[in-house]
Amino acid sequence: MPGTGRSTWRNWAGTVSVTPVREARPASVGELAEEVRRAAEDGLRVKTVGTGHSFTAVAATDGVLIRPDLLTGIRRVDRSAMTVTVESGTPLKRLNEALAREGLSLTNMGDIMEQTVAGATSTGTHGTGRDSASIAAQIKGLELVTADGSVLSCSEKENPEVFAAARIGLGALGVVSAITFAVEPEFLLTAREEPMPFDRVLAEFDALHAENEHFEFYWFPHTGNCNTKRNNRSAGPAAPPGRVSGWVEDELLSNGAFQVACSLGRAVPAAVPAIARLSSRALSARTYTDIPYKVFTSPRRVRFVEMEYAVPREAAVAALREVRAMVERSPLRISFPVEVRTAPADDIALSTASGRETAYIAVHMYRGTPYRGYFSAVERIMTAHGGRPHWGKIHTRDAAYLAENYPRFGEFTALRDRLDPGRLFQNAYLRRVLGD
Per-residue pLDDT of the chain (436 residues; tens, 9 = 90+): 444 457 999 999 999 999 999 999 999 999 999 999 999 999 999 999 999 999 999 999 999 999 999 999 999 999 999 999 999 999 999 999 999 999 999 999 999 999 999 999 999 999 999 999 999 999 999 999 999 999 999 999 999 999 999 999 999 999 999 999 999 999 999 999 999 999 999 999 999 999 999 999 999 999 999 999 999 999 989 999 876 556 446 654 566 677 777 788 888 888 888 888 877 777 778 999 999 999 999 877 788 999 999 999 999 999 999 999 999 999 999 999 999 999 999 999 999 999 999 999 999 999 899 999 999 999 999 999 999 999 999 999 999 999 999 999 999 999 999 999 999 999 999 999 999 8
**pTM of the prediction?**
0.94
Alpha-carbon span 358 to 385, nearest angstrom? 12
